[in-house]
A and B are shown apart, each in its own frame.
Chain A
Amino acid sequence: MQLITSISLNYKQCVNLFIRFGITSATLVLLVVFLSKISPIDSGLSRVGDQFSDISYQAKNVSLKHGFGFSLLTNNLVLQDIKLAMPATFELATAAMLFAILIGVPLGILAAVNKDKLLDHILRMLCLLGNSVSIFWLSLMAMLLFYAKLQLFPAPGRVDIAFLDEIAQPRFLLISSILDGNWPLFKDALAHIMLPALVLGYYSLANISRMTRLFVLQELQQEYVITCKLKGMPFNQILRRHILPNTAIKLITVILLSYASLLEGSTFVENIFMWPGIGLYLTQSIMVNDLNAILACTIVIALIFITANFICDALYKFLDPRVANV
C-alpha cells in the first residue's frame, strides 16, 4: 500500500520553504563570520614560530575558497579534515539510528497496545531516563562497564591499530569492507562501532519509542478502528494494515529530526570513544582553540541540521493526503 499517496507540489508553499531555508542558512553564516571577527583568539599568533608566516593571514580567513584555513591539529586544510571525518560520523549516526528504529518502534507499539501494564511503565521509565542522562556520562559509564570491567567490546577508536591505514581515506568502512570481501576488517569495524552506536542510539531510542507510543495511542482512538472492529477484523490486521501506516507517516518526520539531533550527541560520544568523526574533530579543536576548525565544523553541522529541519517541514506538508490537497 502506498504511503506517499499524492505529492501535490504547491508552488507557493515550496517557494516559502526555500526562502526560509535561505534566510536561516544566511543567518548562520553571518553569525559565524561575526564570531570570527569579534573573537579575541588570534589564530595567526598561535602559529608563531611557524615558517609559513604569510599563511597566518589566511588562517584568519573563514572562507570556503581557502578551504576554511589550516587546522592547528593536523596542518591540513580544515575542509580536507572535515571531508575525512564526515563518513565516520555518518556511519556512526546511521548505525545508532538503525538501532533506535529497530528497537524503538516495536517497543513503542507494544507499550501502546499494553497501555498501563508493566511493559508500558518500564518503557516510560526508560524514556524518562533517556531524557535526563547526560550523554557523555553514559558513554563513560558504558566504556567503564563494557570495556574495562566486562571486556565485551574492544578499545575506543574506529579500528584496531593494525588497520589504521584503512581509514586514512574518507570511506564508509562497513560497506566498503563488505564489498571488498575484507572480512577481518569488517569484523573489527563492526566490533568497534557497536558500543558507541548503542550509546548514541539510546537517546534517539527514548525519543522514537515515546513518539511511536503516542502516535499509536492516538490512532487507536480514531473512528476507523471501530469500523474495522465492526468488520470483524482481527486486531493484528487492524494494527498492521491501518494503524501502522498512519503512524509511519507521522514517524518519518520524527525519525529525520532525531537523525539530525544525533549530530549534537555524537560530539560527546566521539570524544569519549575516540571515534574519528566530526564531533571528535570539533572537540579537539576546541581544546587547542583552533578557531577556523571550530567555526567551520559549526557551519557544516548546523547546515546539516537546518537542512534536515526543512526537509521535515516539507515532508509534513506533502505526506498527509488531507493536508497536501488543502
Chain B
Amino acid sequence: MYKQVLAMYNNKSIVLGFSLLALFILVALVPTMFTRQSPYTPNFDNILAPANGQHIFGTDELGRDLFARIIFGTRYAFIVVLSVCIVTIPLGFTIGAIAGYKQNFIGNFLSRMIDVFLALPKLIIAMALVASVGVGIKNAIFAIILTAWAPYARLTRANVLQLKQQDFILVLKLQGVSSSRILFRFIAPLCLSPIFLQAFLDMSGYILMVAGLGFLGLGAQPPLPEWGSMLANAKDYILTHWWLITYPGGAILLLSLSFNLIGEGMQSVLTNKGF
C-alpha cells in the first residue's frame, strides 16, 4: 500500500491533476480570497462589458462580474460532485455486493436491475427525469444519482462473485459467521480499490452532466452562478461577446480535466494494465 502511494507521487498525471484540483478546492472554500466583486449584484450600467481593469473577465448580460460568478460557481460544482458520490458509491456498492453474494430471489432481482440500469443512456434519462419532475439543482443531483450508481454495482458484483469462491470465505461460513458480516467486514474491503478508481473517472462525468443539464435549463436555476446555466444564458450573445462562454466553459474543462488526470494516473499506478 505504501509503495503505491509513493508511486503516485512520482506519476506526473496525478501530480498535475491533484494540484489543479487543490486549486479548485481552495477557490470553492474561500472564494472571497480571489475576488472582491459579488456574483449576484446586477449592474445595468455595465452590461456585456469586455475584460477591463475592474472586471477581469468582463460582465454578463445583467452586469454581474463574470470572474466572480465563475469563482463562486466552483462551490456548486463541488456540491454536486460530493453529493452524488456520497450517495451513489455506497448505494451502488451495497446493491452490487448483495447481488453478487446472494443467489436467491433478491439477489437475482438486484442483478437484473443492475443490468437494466447499465443499459440505459444516462443523460437522456436524467433529462427526462428532471424535465418531468421539476427543475432545480436538487432534482438534477437526484437524477444523476439514479442513473450513475450502476457501474459501481457492476464492479462490486464482479469482485464479490470472484471472492465468494475463495477458501477463506468457506472457513468463515463454517465458523458460523453470518452472511452480512462476511460480506461487509471481509469481502467489502477487498473490493474498494477499483471502486475508488472508477469514482475519480466518473467524477469528471458528473461535472459534465450537471453542466449539460444546466445548459438546458434543467439544473441550477438563476441567479445561482452555476457554470452550465451561465453558458445557457450566454448562448445568444456569443457571436459578439465571446468571453461569456469561453471562461465558464474553460472552468468546466479544467475541473473535469483535473479529475481525469488523477483517474488516469491512478489507473496506471494501481493496475498493471494501464499502458
Binding site for B on A (CB under 8 A): 20, 23-24, 27-28, 31-32, 35-36, 38-41, 115, 128-129, 131-137, 140-141, 143-144, 148, 213-214, 217, 260-261, 263-264, 267-268, 271-272, 282-283, 286-287, 289, 291, 294-295, 297-298, 301-302, 305-306, 309-310
In the bound complex, CA of A131 to CA of B238 (Å): 24
In the bound complex, CA of A272 to CA of B249 (Å): 15
Q: Which residues of B sit under 8 angstroms from A137, Cβ to Cβ? A: 231, 245, 249, 252-253
Please give me the 4 A-B residue pairs with the lowest Cβ-Cβ distance, nearest first: A137-B249, A132-B256, A39-B132, A132-B257
**CB atoms of B249 and A141 under 8 A apart:** yes
In the bound complex, CA of A36 to CA of B133 (Å): 9
Judge whether B148 is part of the interface by a CB distance below 8 angstroms.
no
In the bound complex, CA of A32 to CA of B217 (Å): 21
Query: Which of A131, A261, A295 has the largest number of chain B CB atoms within 10 A?
Result: A131
Q: Given known contacts A35-B129, A39-B132, A294-B128, is B112 in contact with A23 (CB within 8 Å)?
A: yes
Judge whether B226 is part of the interface by a CB distance below 8 angstroms.
no
In the bound complex, CA of A309 to CA of B150 (Å): 15
Judge whether B153 is part of the interface by a CB distance below 8 angstroms.
no
The chain B residue with its CB closest to the CB of A32 is B128
In the bound complex, CA of A41 to CA of B132 (Å): 7
State which of A28, A131, A135, A144 has its C-beta within 8 Å of the C-beta of B260: A131
**CB atoms of B131 and A289 under 8 A apart:** yes
Q: Which residues of A sit under 8 angstroms from B151, Cβ to Cβ? A: none
In the bound complex, CA of A310 to CA of B252 (Å): 33
In the bound complex, CA of A301 to CA of B125 (Å): 10
Judge whether B212 is part of the interface by a CB distance below 8 angstroms.
yes
Q: Which residues of A sit under 8 angstroms from B125, Cβ to Cβ? A: 31, 298, 302
What distance in Å separates the Cβ of A148 from its nearest Cβ neighbour in chain B? Answer: 5
In the bound complex, CA of A23 to CA of B246 (Å): 44
The chain A residue with its CB closest to the CB of B255 is A132
Within 8 A of A (CB), among B193-237: 204, 208, 211-212, 215-218, 228, 231, 235
**CB atoms of B275 and A214 under 8 A apart:** yes
Q: Which residues of B sit under 8 angstroms from A31, Cβ to Cβ? A: 125
In the bound complex, CA of A276 to CA of B73 (Å): 32
Known: A132-B256, A134-B215, A271-B216. 18 other contacts (CB 8 A): A23-B115, A24-B115, A32-B128, A40-B134, A115-B275, A128-B261, A129-B253, A131-B204, A131-B260, A132-B257, A137-B245, A137-B249, A144-B245, A264-B123, A287-B216, A289-B131, A306-B119, A309-B118
For B115-140 the 0/1 string (1 means CB < 8 A from A) is 11011111111011101111000000
Judge whether B242 is part of the interface by a CB distance below 8 angstroms.
yes
Judge whether B239 is part of the interface by a CB distance below 8 angstroms.
yes
Q: Which residues of A sit under 8 angstroms from B118, Cβ to Cβ? A: 309
**CB atoms of B275 and A217 under 8 A apart:** yes
Q: Which residues of A sit under 8 angstroms from B129, Cβ to Cβ? A: 35
The chain B residue with its CB closest to the CB of A20 is B115
What distance in Å separates the Cβ of B147 from its nearest Cβ neighbour in chain A? Answer: 11
The chain B residue with its CB closest to the CB of A133 is B253
Judge whether B264 is part of the interface by a CB distance below 8 angstroms.
yes
**CB atoms of B249 and A140 under 8 A apart:** yes
**CB atoms of A132 and B253 under 8 A apart:** yes
State which of A38, A129, A305 has its C-beta within 8 Å of the C-beta of B257: A129
Q: Which residues of A sit under 8 angstroms from B121, Cβ to Cβ? A: 260-261, 263-264, 301-302, 305
In the bound complex, CA of A264 to CA of B120 (Å): 11
**CB atoms of A140 and B204 under 8 A apart:** no
The chain B residue with its CB closest to the CB of A286 is B131
What distance in Å separates the Cβ of A140 from its nearest Cβ neighbour in chain B? Answer: 5
**CB atoms of B260 and A294 under 8 A apart:** no
**CB atoms of B260 and A286 under 8 A apart:** no
